[in-house]
Amino acid sequence: MLEALREEVLQANLELVRHGLVLYTFGNASGILRAEGLVVIKPSGVPYEKMTPEDLVVTDLDGRVVEGSLRPSSDLPTHLALYRAFPTAGGVVHTHSTYATAWAQARREIPCFGTTHADYFRGGVPVTDDLAAEEIQSDYEWNTGQAIVRRFAGCDPLEIPAVLVAGHGPFTWGRSATEAAHNAVILEELARTALYSLEVRSDAQPLAGVHRDKHFFRKHGPKATYGQK
């Protein structure tokens, strides 16, 4: 199973490359085996084109390396914070994809302007608060995760499986690493389309709740009708 997860996490990382979400070694995807408490994550600063399943790093939920000779992504503690707080998350992805990062830098929630958005996210994609100076100075990456977790207090993270970290960029998640990467690709497209909608009309309005939920639940939950059975 760990081998299968290594392969899936590698493919999730490469999916970010295929869709133009990463430049050089930016970005990272991980996946988790819940029963074993093992996380598989991209190594730090290794070029995507040379990456093999063996280069991926396996850690426990405290971040101790269990397998692999490379150092894990420096964002590992943020991934771990999300796995600990969101028990339904099977995969986490972080990118600096252009449009989502632009919204994160502007500290503005991406409104749910249309049905494409509502097919994947049941509402706007929120922005975290800024970290306090002391949260930046020590345990920065872990504290980044805590800022995300605080922002999702009382929300189902699978209904809005994405966040914008203020002044930084997006994190997405999903039931698997594959789904987390898929959500990162979709988020980038939504961030782009939402910016253009604002340019077409600066007072563009979000979709009505009933319309949003119609689309979200066409694709998610027990009454989903999209796709092949």
d(CA 100, CA 106): 10
At its nearest, how many Å lie between its own copies and the CB of residue 4?
Answer: 21
Which is nearer to its own copies, 32 or 125 (by Cβ)? 125
130 annotated active-site = no
Q: Which pairing describes strands 65-67 and 162-165: parallel, antiparallel, or unpaired?
A: unpaired
Beta-bridge partner residues of 32: 39
Number of Cβ within 10 Å of residue 103's Cβ equals: 22
**Marked catalytic residue, from 119, 130, 139, 213:** 119
Which is nearer to its own copies, 32 or 180 (by Cβ)? 180
Which is nearer to its own copies, 32 or 178 (by Cβ)? 178
Place of tokens 């027990």: 222
d(CA 130, CA 147): 8
At its nearest, how many Å lie between its own copies and the CB of residue 154?
Answer: 26
At its nearest, how many Å lie between its own copies and the CB of residue 160?
Answer: 18
**Marked catalytic residue, from 60, 156, 196, 226:** 226
24 annotated active-site = no
Number of Cβ within 10 Å of residue 129's Cβ equals: 12
Residue 54 tokens, joined: 């063996």
At its nearest, how many Å lie between its own copies and the CB of residue 36?
Answer: 26
Chain residues binding its own copies by CB under 8 A are 23-26, 43-46, 70-71, 74, 96, 98-99, 101-108, 113-116, 130-131, 133, 136-137, 140, 167-169, 182, 185-186, 189, 192-201, 204-205, 207-208, 210-211, 214, 218, 225-229
Max distance between CA atoms of the chain, in angstroms, equals 52
Which is nearer to its own copies, 32 or 56 (by Cβ)? 56
At its nearest, how many Å lie between its own copies and the CB of residue 1?
Answer: 26
Crossing angle (nearest 10°) for helices 76-85 and 140-151: 30
Which is nearer to its own copies, 36 or 67 (by Cβ)? 67
Q: Let me know how long the chain is.
A: 229
Query: How does 196-227 read in b/e, with b if 16+ C-beta sit within 10 Å?
Result: eeeeeeeeeebbeeeebeebbbbeeeeeeeee
- Catalytic residue IDs: 119, 226
